[in-house]
A and B are shown apart, each in its own frame.
Chain A
Amino acid sequence: MSHAALGHSTDIRGDGTSPGAAIEVVNLVKRFGHNRALNGVSFQVPRGTVFGVIGPNGAGKTTIMRALLDIIRPTSGQATVLGTPSRNAGPDLRRRIGYLPGELVLEGRTSGRRLLQHYADISGPVTAGHVNELAERLGLDLDRPVRKLSKGNKQKLGIVQAFMHQPELLVLDEPTSGLDPLMQQEFLRMVREARNRGQTVFLSSHVISEIQQAADEVAILRDGRIVTINSVEELRTTAIRHLRLVASGIRPTDLAAILGALQGVTTLDCTLTATGDAEAVATLSGAIAPFVQAIGALQVRDLVLEEPDLEESVLKLYSAPVAAAVVTK
């Protein structure tokens, strides 16, 4: 499943017509002074797929993306984008990419529409009416001055800017930051539609939930290294969730016995609430179905099963240094 294997060189033919990977990164290293932002990152993104990178702030997500766009130059290693080496790549390559920066800054008195027109002028062409269509989907007013837009609306403008010329490759750094949940869903629909049209999407996040809905594969990045590359399904089974359950008509010890017998339930703590119910707090890893079946017979009064927390679950799982085995050398 993993496309991280270093050994086999791909079928990139360097003529821009390669049917192989949309992105091929080989042993990318980036140092800023003494600080190693990227520590030998290798991965491939097949064309027509959605590839997500997750990791905490400072893991190197943004650095990879900037290297793909030739905004920064790697210290060593190579990134090939749509069959062209990204380093010193000309404008023609970047016209085929839609990019949303992680720290999107949009200022000025100019309206959103005029700003988009400017980017269309230098990167386009953009189908007539497509900008309006995208703006309408996201509920974005294009006639307001850019500097008066809220953070969320600036983010929408940035998304429209990246999608509007229907590029072969979308590179989106934390695309949903600042968007409300409804808009996040709309955005994820746009990502899926893009993939269905044959576009490739490379996106990053520090929230696992938004990536798992959209991505085919997910790379986990930490301290400038890829810890693992998994399919979303594989990732989901490894994630740890916090759960809290309140059931009536059962003693805490009995509840503890039922839940404690399940595989993947840890740090279980069952107590008696003030109302005489039994409350269980625990973490759950792996499949949810056995847990749901187990509590089916209970009189459940309250159940909170949190989204898997990346910081706690995935990173904890892979915090051992040996985990690097999947990737690089």
Chain B
Amino acid sequence: MTALQDRPQNVRRAPLPLFGKAFSDSWRGLLGWGVGLAAAAFLYLPIYPSMSGASGMQELLDNLPPELIKTLNYDQIGTGAGYTQATLFGLLGFLLLSIAATGWGAGALGGDEESGQLELTLAHGVTRVQVAMARFFAIAVKILALSALLFLVVLVLNDSAQLEIEVGDLLGTSLIFAGVSLLTASVALLGGALTGRRIGGIAGGTTVAVLGYVFNALGNQSASLEWLHTLSPYYWAFGDSPLSTGANVTTTIVFYAASLVLAAAAAIALRQRDIGV
């Protein structure tokens, strides 16, 4: 038995190993999403001056059916903030970050369990709650990083593209943009934790993102459908044009708090289940 007692007690260990692993496993993916988001910004924003000037924009709007304009949130497109909101935060950026968030959320627990790797991690000196929360925070940091990148890119282009967006409004919008994406990710996390399958998480995350977008678009169409806005996280985030009027602080906090609650629910769900069966 002596050999067992000879085990070393002071060996260097990485701080926050679970968080660090969750993060380092996906930095390539993070880089890819970052490039995509930045490309979307560089694609849309620099052409704003040419579109807003003279007749170009108005001509485009006149030719579009009003329902489509409302769906795409193009009704504010005549201002720099409205244009950035409609094309970037509300459309391509939202799409990219929602996909990333859903993938990360679904993969973190559901995907890892389905592949069989979670079993080995949980057989080590960790609790399931630690694993779930560490992976949630890793996702949160990645989403915030992408959102921060978008903030910087828009800030850089603000003058040259004549967007005239207030820095404070841009910051608030970036935070609420990250918040709605984090909500999507945490629903995906919960779906994966409940089902033990990646598809369970993808279904959850997709529901939040797609239904949020669809309910917002339908609610835009007529007063009788406006009630759908109350069901749309997309509307909660972008409904009162945060890029021109500033993000609602309470709503922003609610997004992060709700995400945290959902992550805790995922952790508890994971704790109750048989893994990998």
Contacts and interface: CB of A to CB of B under 8 A. Distances in A.
* Real binding pair: yes
The size class of the interface chain B forms with chain A is 20 to 34
A126 interface: yes
B119 interface: yes
B274 A110 contact: no
A95 B4 contact: no
Nearest to A63: B277
B160 interface: no
A165 B7 contact: yes
Contact of A101 (B14, B116, B127): B116
A122 interface: yes
A122 B18 contact: yes
Contact of A124 (B3, B11, B119, B123): B11
A92 B125 contact: yes
A105 B277 contact: no
B274 A73 contact: yes
Give the residue among A72, A122, A161 with the most B Cβ atoms within 10 A. Answer: A122
Contacts, number: 105
Contacts of B276: 66, 71-72
Contact of A91 (B11, B115, B126): B126
B29 to A, nearest CB: 11
B4 A94 contact: no
Interface in B236-277: 274-277
B25 A110 contact: yes
A198 B4 contact: yes
Given A95-B125, A119-B124, A72 B277 contact: yes
B223 interface: no
From DSSP, what is the main secondary structure of chain A's interface residues? loop
Given A71-B274, A101-B119, A103-B116, A125 B125 contact: no
Contacts of B13: 120-121, 124-125
B17 interface: yes
A117 B14 contact: yes
Contact of B3 (A72, A99, A125, A197): A197
Nearest to A114: B24
Given A71-B123, A101-B116, A125 B7 contact: yes
Contact of B119 (A48, A71, A110): A71
Contacts of B1: 48, 197-198
Contacts of A94: 123-126
B26 to A, nearest CB: 10
Nearest to B4: A198
Interface of B: 1-4, 7-11, 13-14, 17-18, 21, 24-25, 28, 115-117, 119-127, 130, 274-277
